Chain A
Amino acid sequence: MFRRERPIPLRGSAAPLCNNLSVLQVPSRNLTHFGVVHGPSAQLLSAAPEGVPLAQRQLHAKEGAGVSPPLITQVHWCVLPFRVLLVLTSHRGIQMYESDGSVMVYWHALDSGDASPVQAVFARGIASSGRFICVGTWSGRVLVFDIPAKGPNIVLSEELAGHQTSVTDIATEPAQGQDCVADVVTADNSGLLCVWRSGPKFKLVTQIPGFGVPCPSVQLWHGTVAAGYGDGQVRLYEASTGTLHVQISAHARAICALDLAPEVGKLLSAAEDTFVHIWKLSRSPESGHTEVEHCHGECVPDTQVCGARFCDPSGSSFAVTGYDLAEILRFSSV
Chain B
Amino acid sequence: MSLRTLPLLFLNLGGEMLYILDQRLRAQNIPADKARKVLNDIISTMFNRKFMEELFKPQELYSKKALRTVYDRLAHASIMRLNQASMDKLYDLMTMAFKYQVLLCPRPKDVLLVTFNHLDAIKGFIQDSPAILQQVEETFQQLTDRYGGLSDGEFQLIRQTLLIFFQDLHIRVSIFLKDKVQNSNGRFVLPVSGPVPWGTEVPGLIRIFTDKGKEAKKVEFKHGGHYVTAPKEGSFELYGDRVLKLGTNMYSMNRPVETHMSGASKNLASRTQEIIAPNPLAKEELNFLARLMGGMEIKKPSGPEPGFRLNLFTTDEEEEEAAVLTHPLLGLALSLLQQDQQRNKELARIMGEFEVTEQPKQSASKGDDLLAMMDGF
- Contact A297-B223, Cβ < 8 Å, known A190-B153, A230-B156, A233-B201: yes
- Is the C-beta of A178 less than 8 angstroms from some C-beta in chain B? no
The winner among B63, B188, B202, B206 for most chain A CB atoms within 10 A is: B206
Contact indicator per residue, chain B 199-237, by CB within 8 Å of chain A (1) or not (0): 111111111111101001001011111010000000000
- Is the C-beta of B295 less than 8 angstroms from some C-beta in chain A? no
The winner among B2, B154, B222 for most chain A CB atoms within 10 A is: B154
Whether the pair A273, B199 counts as a contact (CB closer than 8 A) is no
The winner among A39, A166, A213, A252 for most chain B CB atoms within 10 A is: A252
- Contact A71-B1, Cβ < 8 Å, known A252-B227, A299-B192: yes
List residues of B (5-39) whose CB comes within 8 Å of A's CBs.
none
Residues of chain B contacted by A75 (CB below 8 angstroms)? none
Whether the pair B1, A122 counts as a contact (CB closer than 8 A) is yes
List residues of B (237-291) whose CB comes within 8 Å of A's CBs.
281, 284-285, 288
Q: Report the bound CA distance from A215 to B246 in whole Å.
A: 26
**Stretch binding the partner chain, chosen from B122-130, B136-144, B161-169, B303-311:** B161-169
- Is the C-beta of A22 less than 8 angstroms from some C-beta in chain B? no
Q: How far is the CB of B110 from chain A (nearest CB, A)?
A: 11
Q: Report the bound CA distance from A137 to B177 in whole Å.
A: 42
Whether the pair A212, B152 counts as a contact (CB closer than 8 A) is yes
Interface residue from A39, A166, A298, A303 paired with B164 (Cβ < 8 Å): A39
**Stretch binding the partner chain, chosen from A80-88, A148-156, A201-209, A239-247:** A239-247
Whether the pair A231, B199 counts as a contact (CB closer than 8 A) is yes
How many CB-defined contacts (below 8 Å) exist between A and B? 162
Interface residue from A67, A249, A303 paired with B60 (Cβ < 8 Å): A67
- Is the C-beta of A13 less than 8 angstroms from some C-beta in chain B? yes
- Contact A15-B199, Cβ < 8 Å, known A243-B211, A245-B208: no
Q: Report the bound CA distance from A277 to B63 in whole Å.
A: 37
Whether the pair B202, A253 counts as a contact (CB closer than 8 A) is no
- Contact A249-B202, Cβ < 8 Å, known A39-B164, A67-B62, A304-B190: yes
Interface residue from B106, B152, B203 paired with A213 (Cβ < 8 Å): B152
Whether the pair A247, B209 counts as a contact (CB closer than 8 A) is yes
Whether the pair A254, B156 counts as a contact (CB closer than 8 A) is yes
Q: How far is the CB of B101 from chain A (nearest CB, A)?
A: 14
Whether the pair B3, A120 counts as a contact (CB closer than 8 A) is yes
Interface residue from A188, A190, A243, A273 paired with B225 (Cβ < 8 Å): A273
Chain B residues within 8 Å of chain A by Cβ, number = 59
Interface residue from A119, A214, A250 paired with B152 (Cβ < 8 Å): A214
Residues of chain A contacted by B284 (CB below 8 angstroms)? 67
Residues of chain A contacted by B227 (CB below 8 angstroms)? 252
Interface residue from B103, B108, B157 paired with A120 (Cβ < 8 Å): B157
Q: Report the bound CA distance from A36 to B227 in whole Å.
A: 31
Q: Report the bound CA distance from A282 to B209 in whole Å.
A: 14
Q: How far is the CB of B174 from chain A (nearest CB, A)?
A: 19
Q: Report the bound CA distance from A213 to B197 in whole Å.
A: 13
- Is the C-beta of B363 less than 8 angstroms from some C-beta in chain A? no
Q: Report the bound CA distance from A287 to B281 in whole Å.
A: 63
Q: How far is the CB of B180 from chain A (nearest CB, A)?
A: 11
Q: How far is the CB of B52 from chain A (nearest CB, A)?
A: 16
Whether the pair A190, B167 counts as a contact (CB closer than 8 A) is no
Q: Report the bound CA distance from A275 to B204 in whole Å.
A: 13
Whether the pair A299, B224 counts as a contact (CB closer than 8 A) is yes
Whether the pair A212, B225 counts as a contact (CB closer than 8 A) is no
Residues of chain B contacted by A58 (CB below 8 angstroms)? none
Interface residue from B3, B200, B205, B209 paired with A119 (Cβ < 8 Å): B3
Residue of A nearest to B206 (CB): A248
Interface residue from B2, B167, B196, B216 paired with A323 (Cβ < 8 Å): B167
Q: Report the bound CA distance from A288 to B59 in whole Å.
A: 52
Residues of chain A contacted by B83 (CB below 8 angstroms)? none
Q: How far is the CB of A180 from chain B (nearest CB, A)?
A: 20
Whether the pair A66, B60 counts as a contact (CB closer than 8 A) is yes
Where chain A touches its partner, the secondary structure class is loop
Residues of chain A contacted by B281 (CB below 8 angstroms)? 67-68
Residues of chain B contacted by A277 (CB below 8 angstroms)? 223
Whether the pair A189, B154 counts as a contact (CB closer than 8 A) is yes
Q: How far is the CB of A182 from chain B (nearest CB, A)?
A: 17
- Is the C-beta of A274 less than 8 angstroms from some C-beta in chain B? yes
- Is the C-beta of A177 less than 8 angstroms from some C-beta in chain B? no
- Is the C-beta of A35 less than 8 angstroms from some C-beta in chain B? no
Residues of chain B contacted by A252 (CB below 8 angstroms)? 192, 196-197, 200, 202-203, 223, 225, 227
Whether the pair B192, A273 counts as a contact (CB closer than 8 A) is yes
Interface residue from A16, A166, A244 paired with B167 (Cβ < 8 Å): A16
- Is the C-beta of A17 less than 8 angstroms from some C-beta in chain B? yes
- Is the C-beta of A165 less than 8 angstroms from some C-beta in chain B? yes
Q: Report the bound CA distance from A232 to B187 in whole Å.
A: 23
Interface residue from A73, A117, A165, A248 paired with B58 (Cβ < 8 Å): A117
- Is the C-beta of B151 less than 8 angstroms from some C-beta in chain A? yes
Whether the pair A232, B151 counts as a contact (CB closer than 8 A) is no
Interface residues in chain B, defined as those with a beta carbon under 8 Å from any beta carbon in chain A:
1-4, 58-60, 62-63, 103, 106, 108, 151-154, 156-157, 159-160, 163-164, 167-168, 170, 183, 187-190, 192, 196-197, 199-211, 213, 216, 219, 221-225, 227, 281, 284-285, 288
15 chain-A/chain-B pairs, Cβ below 8 angstroms:
A13-B168, A212-B151, A214-B153, A230-B108, A230-B152, A230-B153, A244-B213, A251-B203, A252-B223, A254-B156, A273-B225, A275-B223, A297-B222, A302-B190, A324-B187
Which 7 A/B pairs are nearest by Cβ-Cβ distance?
A189-B153, A294-B221, A16-B163, A118-B58, A249-B201, A214-B153, A297-B224
Given contacts A189-B157, A251-B203, 18 further A-B contacts (CB under 8 A): A13-B167, A16-B159, A67-B60, A67-B281, A73-B1, A117-B3, A118-B3, A232-B201, A246-B208, A249-B202, A254-B108, A273-B190, A273-B192, A289-B209, A294-B206, A294-B222, A299-B225, A302-B190
Interface residues in chain A, defined as those with a beta carbon under 8 Å from any beta carbon in chain B:
13, 15-17, 39, 66-68, 71, 73, 91, 117-120, 122, 165-166, 168, 188-190, 212-214, 216, 230-233, 243-254, 273-275, 277, 287, 289, 291-294, 297-299, 301-304, 323-324
